[in-house]
Structure 1
Amino acid sequence: MKPRLLFATTNPGKLKELRLLVGDAVELVSLKDLPPIPEPVEDGTTFEANAEKKAREYAAASGLPTLADDSGLCVDTLGGRPGVHSARYAPGDDRARYLKLLGELEGMPEERRTAAFQCALCLAIPGKGAKVEVGRCEGRILTAPRGTHGFGYDPVFFVPSLGKTVAELAPEEKAAVSHRGQAFRKMLPALLALQAGG
């Protein structure tokens, strides 16, 4: 029987990405598959702190090995904002958030629109501690959205090496270059050890 792994998210986009990455190694469940668990307060000042807090608290509450991520967009000219507040940067949906960002960067020359997606991924195993891995994807912010894939800030985040926004990438292409994909590949040995009962 495959081990169960809780991915502590209700974001369907993140869940879909991780299912693609993890394959059949574990039985992946999300918070929506379990009885309600109180949501941890994300009060950390770093992605790593928030990811670890979420993973540890959900693992303790569920009794399951738990993978949690905290990720966001860091824009250099904005001093790293929106950063850990990426999901709460503006009220409303993803579009409202990236439109606010485009408004803040209006008139900014291309060379000053550099940014990075960052992700911290934490695996917490009840009674066995936690492990954190990080990933980073460099790019720049366009002046208008492009593409229909992905979620969040993907339509305005341009990856120069690919000549596309993240929202123009097929899921497999995104997994190959994304911040979450990088962090996950670093975490894969720990997940395979979980599969082996380690």
Structure 2
Amino acid sequence: MKLVLATHNQHKVEEVGAILAQTIPTIELLGYDGPEPKEDGTSFLENALIKARAAFLHTGLPSIADDSGIAVEILGGAPGIFSARWAGGRDNVANRQLLLSQLADVRDQDRAASFVCTIAMVSDDGEVSFTGIWPGRVALQEQGLNGFGYDPVFIPEGFEVTAAELEPEVKNALSHRSLALSQLSSYLLQLER
């Protein structure tokens, strides 16, 4: 089965490919070189569907897209769908630094947050979606060199290190994206039967 991943983010292509290959080694994950649609949805689901629909229309192939971000409880769920542009642009360092500065006076025990990932799939069979949530908290400072985005400031529940300090295999087994992709994999395996 060929599947288009509607993103221009190479880190995400590599991560999604590695996770899907664990359960569906025969799947061919294709990159997307089409136009980026305007993500003007008000939820992770709406934005994922916007991207998956655009890729499906552009390629004619089953297409998946995710929308993901970090939701901080004390900030009312922000940055949420605005995570990638929280500091005004797509600068991961600036986004992390802004979040840390916004939480500068917040005690460690009050820094609860979750990584959220919703994956939408659009194909001739219709539209489906899957959501994974990875609970944890925001660190007091950046730590770690692995991963991308908010990984250096996110401490997953049950750990004392950030997601950026985890080995990629460990992160890929536990992450919000992995949880959503696991649901997608189960769905795709049912389709192949």
Superposition TM-score, scaled by structure 1 size: 0.91
Distance 1:160 1:134 in 2: 18
Pick aligned residue for 2:181 from 159, 164, 184: 184
RMSD: 1.4
Which residue of structure 1 lines up, in the alignment, with residue 18 of structure 2?
20
Give the match's secondary structure for 1:31.
Answer: coil
Aligned residue pairs total 189
Letter in 2 for 1:21: I
How does 1:20-59 map onto structure 2 within 5 Å? 20-23=18-21, 24-32=25-33, 37-59=34-56
Letter in 2 for 1:116: S
Pick aligned residue for 1:165 from 149, 162, 165: 162
Contact preservation (8 Å) 2:117, 2:132: yes
Contact preservation (8 Å) 2:84, 2:90: no
Distance 1:186 1:75 in 2: 24
Letter in 2 for 1:191: L
Distance 1:4 1:67 in 2: 11
Distance 1:145 1:191 in 2: 37
Distance 2:49 2:90 in 1: 27
Pick aligned residue for 2:98 from 84, 87, 100: 100
Letter in 2 for 1:111: Q
Unaligned runs of 5+ in 2: none
Contact preservation (8 Å) 1:5, 1:65: yes
Distance 1:191 1:30 in 2: 18
Shift of 1:190: 2.4
Give the match's secondary structure for 1:72.
Answer: strand
Superposition TM-score, scaled by structure 2 size: 0.93
Shift of 1:65: 0.6
Give the match's secondary structure for 1:87.
Answer: helix
Unaligned runs of 5+ in 1: none
Shift of 1:191: 2.3
Distance 1:27 1:186 in 2: 18
Distance 2:35 2:10 in 1: 19
Shift of 1:169: 1.0
